[in-house]
Structure 1
């Protein structure tokens, strides 16, 4: 059983079928085909307004190009200290920002607060020797599996407006956050002041399809050129667009995310009922972060489970991982079976029961 990530499974059958259906015949290249045009119009319908859409193949490309459109080479982009853009993209955002820098701030559960961001910006020297902040990037879902509420996004947006910052949302798990909040895509983005979005599809059923969705027209002007220079204007672009067509059809993307979130809830509740296990952060989407006795960690490994250990940097001040404990990350996907979840919980329960019987 593999709980290492939600990008380890293949594409969903519906997305694969859409690719096959789009494959036959000759169509204009480089995104000038009718499928791409339909998908871009569908993004506008989904977000309830005209948006500029740039289809790319990876989340790293989406984040790097989106931030490059918002931050000049002499600027700063603020993010959480454990954000994917600063921790897991090999400097790609800074590379495409041509020298601009990312600065990470602390926050419980991978979240930033408006107060933390405002205090940091107000504390910066106002001189030409200091790189000025130009954007804020937030992860939705965060790296600790938490979801920003609409009021939290609105508060961060207000802080951005006060300090002249653009607001970027890294939505690698956008659909999982959306169904968690029970709101519309518009309500979670531009209606709360988000300027630009990295819209993820790969973790939720696509083969390799992400999008940059631009709500602030000032950020769209150069993105075609940036995408081309980054090798992200694909000659057979219809095969990227087709994935989104299958993804959106019949609300397939919502169904996938609902299933993944439900599996996470089942996993979270099951583990929380095992003596000695507690959750580092609430389970709000499709990731679970339990703090388990080391004997449970060892039992998982002995059973061949695949998962990751996790950092304690974003724990609440009164939370600690003991010397006989381990903090781990378990991720479920649209393809996770309920039986897999129950087996994992049974392994944990059995390990604790054996120790109690000794």
Structure 2
């Protein structure tokens, strides 16, 4: 019974079907008919003009998006628990040719204008210190907590006042949007670029970089090629993304994953380390308790000495979710 990661979930049948349908001759790279539809499809979804590039991983999506905003001598401000800091093996420094990450604090891996200012304000405006050029936030955060539209708006206003770009790591953007019950535009707010995640939500191997600053996408097309992410049969990348978007499959899948997490969280409210707002649950759990759960067939990750992380996915089986909720309540 798998609760380690939503990356372990199955590919949605609609995605396989779309990829099979795309298995016909078409123009190479991103000149095919499906890739050419992405800009208009995302523009309609967000209600403003977008330029969209597909890539194969969330790491590439994050780093290429930031490369549009940050020069090699600059810096990105993010939470100290951000994925780009903790789980991308130095990829931001690689893609950004040496740019630095500056780390901010905040509850549940969410930054605020105040915690961002605490990092930025002490930096002198001179050649001897690395200057920030962008802020990166994660929706939903690395602890499964969601930025409300007013929180994103406050950060966007802060970034604009400081002349900084704003990037959103949306590996679980679907889960955040589903939780908020708002439009995608409201969940994203006034960001300059969004890494729109599909792999964790039913896709196979395609993520989208959504540029709301359309001109920024021009340079990144060259960087994508240089990074090895311009696939020659790009229609298969676009097919996955379109299959997830059309008919709202991305949102339905996210709602299913969120509902499974909510059922599990409701069984152990006293153990929760963070509010459960998307599809991740962090809870107190001793080594002996974790061993007891694994003996019953549950797979999940340890999270430090006395905690565990549980992640639900779009295809979580009702029987497995209910069994885990009962097992946790019985500890």
TM over 0.5: yes
Helix, strand or coil: the match of 2:7?
coil
Secondary structure, in 3 states, of the residue corresponding to 1:301? helix
> Would you say the 8 A contact 1:299–1:347 is kept in 2?
no
Instruction: Please name the residue that 1:227 is paired with.
Output: 224
Q: 1:283 & 1:186 partners in 2: Cα distance? A: 22
Residue deviations 1:175-203 (CA, integer Å, cap 9, x gap) = 000011111111222xx321111111000
Cα deviations by residue, 1:21-68 (Å, 9 ceiling, x for unpaired) = 111x21000011111112332111111121110111110110110111
Q: Distance in 1 between matches of 2:287 and 2:9?
A: 28
Q: CA offsets, 1:90-115, max 9 Å, x none?
A: 11111110111112222110111111
CA drift of 1:154 comes to: 0.7
Partner of residue 160, structure 1 = 159
Corresponding position of 2:318: 338
Taking the TM superposition and a 5 Å limit, the aligned residue runs for 1:1-358 are: 1-23=1-23, 25-189=24-188, 192-272=189-269, 277-311=270-304, 326-350=306-330, 352=331
Matched residue count:
331
Q: Do 1:114 and 1:159's aligned partners in 2 also have CA atoms closer than 8 Å?
A: yes
State the alpha-carbon separation in 1 of the partners of residues 37 and 125 from structure 2: 46
Distance 2:207 2:244 in 1: 11
Q: Following TM superposition, by how much is the alpha carbon of 1:217 offset from its aligned partner in structure 2, in angstroms?
A: 3.2
Structure 2 residue runs of 5 or longer lacking an equivalent are: none
* Whole-Å separation in 1 of the counterparts to 2:64 and 2:55: 10
**Aligned-residue CA RMSD in angstroms?**
1.3
TM-score, normalised relative to structure 1:
0.89
| 8 Å CA contact 2:286, 2:306 repeated in 1 | yes
Distance in 2 between residues matched to 1:282 and 1:213, nearest whole Å? 28
Structure 1: stretches of 5+ with no match in the other structure: 312-324, 353-358
Q: Find the aligned partners of 1:238 and 1:42 in 2 and give their Cα distance.
A: 15
Q: Secondary structure at the match of 1:117?
A: helix
Q: CA deviation at 1:335?
A: 0.6
Aligned mates of 2:326, 2:192 — CA distance in 1: 45
Query: Per-residue deviation at 1:293?
Result: 4.5
